[in-house]
Amino acid sequence: MKKAKTHSQHRQASMSPVKDKSELVSLLDHCRHGVVLLDAEDRLAYVNSRAVELLDGPADKLLGQTIRKLSGDFSAVTILAIDALRNGIESPLTGRCNLQNAKLSVHFSRSIDGSGNYAGTAVLLEDQEQQGDSCGHMIRAEKMAILGELAAAVAHEINNPLGGIMESVRIIRDNPGNWEKINRFLPLIMQGLERIQSSVQRVLTFGQRAPAKRQSVRLADVVFQSIEFLRPRARLQQARINSSIEAPDVRVYADSHAISQTIINLLNNALDSLVGRRDGQIDLTMTLDNDQTVVLNIADNGCGVPGHLREKIFDPFFTTKSDGKGTGLGLSISANMIAEHRGTISLNPRPGGGSIFTVTLPRYESGKENK
């Protein structure tokens, strides 16, 4: 019996090989995105036609130049990415820059030689207007998935004070002119309404598409806001979220909405792993490493992630959730967001069972903004 062809075999059978180097160059030259290849010394070894336009060529002027001699924010973001790739940060990395009045996403991928040493970087310049909608749709899809999971918890959070408000109104209605009862129950009504307003506002804020804006922010504030957003779901599951902040005044240069979404994604995944447990617990710690790097650890005592799946956990559309739950985008989006902030995100097993997600971000230093 003949074996069925694998997916890769079908692809090989349907694709004709590139005949020579000139044909390959022609293919790259007609790519609608800018393509730049840098050698191990950070010199431009190849630029396609679109990259020549964006970098204000001509090509013969650009080739052989080091990236550090180019002007503008493309040079700055590329230098940062190369430094990270050269020092072992796993590719791909993503950044943003403006060139020739075009807003671009810049994607970086490390090249290594046969011995595993750094050999250069491939750079793809992609117009945000061409890819922004699809990226935005993915992020909003993940947000909607989280909001869907929170619906029951938020309803529970609103129903509790709503019951108290209704009872207070009934007492006041049944005792007209009784100022002792009015003065006692009116503050309780206000407290209940403020609690409902707070719950609804958290949901509305999370659902909005906020513009990216990087600035100096206290990371502890972002952490606490993210925890409070998921308190309703944690209470409904009878799970505890504990926090320990070693350096509450430490700042990072970041888009607070992006960092908050990452923390919420990680906490939400941790709560998913605790479903059905009565002793569910999440421990979030924030520490400093060598006074330069802020480290967030989010540890849970849930079901954990099998070893053979950990290396895939940050891949787009990969999910360990069953029955169609989850989009498989949360961790991929989070990893990209943290990489754009020159940070890292990783997963390790928790001793005794469960998972530990670790997020690192560079500490903010005044005057050293990395936009």
Tens digits of residue pLDDT in 162-214: 767 887 888 888 888 889 888 888 888 887 787 677 666 655 555 555 556 78
Q: Pick the most confident of 103-117, 315-329, 346-360.
A: 346-360
Give the architecture-level CATH label for domain 7-131: 2-Layer Sandwich (3.30)
d(CA 347, CA 262): 14
Q: For position 82, what pLDDT does the model report?
A: 85
d(CA 274, CA 96): 37
Query: pLDDT tier at 7 (50, 70, 90 boundaries)?
Result: very low
d(CA 90, CA 110): 8
Fold entry, domain 213-371:
Heat Shock Protein 90 (3.30.565)
The structure's pTM equals 0.49
Of 295, 203, 205, 314, nearest to 257 by C-alpha is: 205
Of 354, 143, 348, nearest to 265 by C-alpha is: 143
CATH 3.30.450.20 positions along the chain are 7-131
Q: How far apart, in Å, are the Cα atoms of 355 and each of 267, 301, 346?
A: 11, 7, 10
CATH 3.30.565.10 positions along the chain are 213-371
Which residue's entry shows tokens 């810049």?
Answer: 106
Of 305, 311, 308, 306, nearest to 335 by C-alpha is: 311
Q: For position 360, what pLDDT does the model report?
A: 93
Q: For position 363, what pLDDT does the model report?
A: 92
